Amino acid sequence: MGREPSPEDLVRAARAVGVMDERLLEAVRATPRAEFVPAEHVASAYRDTPVPLPHDQVTTQPSLVAMMVSALGLTGAERVLEVGTGYGWQTALLARLAAYVVSVERWPDLVEEARRRLAGQGLDNAAIVLGDGTLGVPARAPYDAVIVCAAFPEVPEPLIGQLRTGGRLVQPIGPGGHERVELYERRAHGLVRRATVASAYFVRLYGAHGYEQR
């Protein structure tokens, strides 16, 4: 019999795409993705593949999650805004790497699932908020880092305004379906693009500063 799949498979997948941040790799190792996917997809949890979620949503491929989170350059003291919680696996990684995470999700049932699953891991430094992610969460701003998990051709203006000067933002830029994941830095005059993290496929970003709500 072969060995059981485990988080170590996802650590290897992250290393294979060039992720070298040992804190991040340890967070991947310590966060069981099987606890953050629907029950019918647990067998796929430790494969480096997206997993379907309710409402025609889909998780991001784990190695791509690692690349996007790595680009934020988290050191442990940051306040992070995440747009698009899903079931919360990326949120859990962020919570292990930063001081505090605010994550916005537009579907009430996904909010409840993520809250339950994060609590099951004893992670109490992540707040899951029901709302329009394109508006951010201004009451808890400013943020040191912002990560957006859905695609739009531009960065929503409210997210730029809630990012502190010197902070980093990662977002898939494109129409939804074929994107460039871009890394930006907030400067006094606005965002400056620093690097392209990857090419990927993402669901569309819906909201007042994204696509019209379905």
Q: 196-209, pLDDT tens digit by residue?
A: 999 999 999 999 99
Q: 164-193, pLDDT tens digit by residue?
A: 999 999 999 999 888 999 999 999 999 999
pLDDT of residue 4: 86
Sequence ranges of the domains in the chain:
7-200
CA distances from 134 to 25, 30, 44, 172, 214 (A): 29, 30, 30, 13, 14
Tokens standing for residue 106: 């537009």
Give which of 35, 94, 16, 88 is closest to 59, Cα–Cα: 88
Q: What angle do CA 5, 114, 3 make, to 5 degrees?
A: 5
Residues in CB range of 90: below 8 A, 6 or more apart? 60, 65, 69, 82, 147, 149
Residues in CB range of 26: below 8 A, 6 or more apart? 96
pLDDT of residue 108: 98
pLDDT of residue 177: 82
Strand, coil or helix: what is 149? coil
pLDDT of residue 2: 62
Ranges of residues in the chain whose predicted pLDDT is under 50: 1
Mean pLDDT of the chain: 96
Identify whether 142 is preceded by a cis peptide bond (ω within 30 of 0): yes
CA distances from 83 to 32, 113, 146 (A): 21, 16, 8
Distance CA 88, CA 103 (A): 9
E runs forming strands in the chain? 52-53, 57-58, 79-83, 100-105, 126-130, 143-148, 163-173, 179-187, 190-200
The class (CATH top level) of 7-200 is alpha beta
pLDDT of residue 29: 98
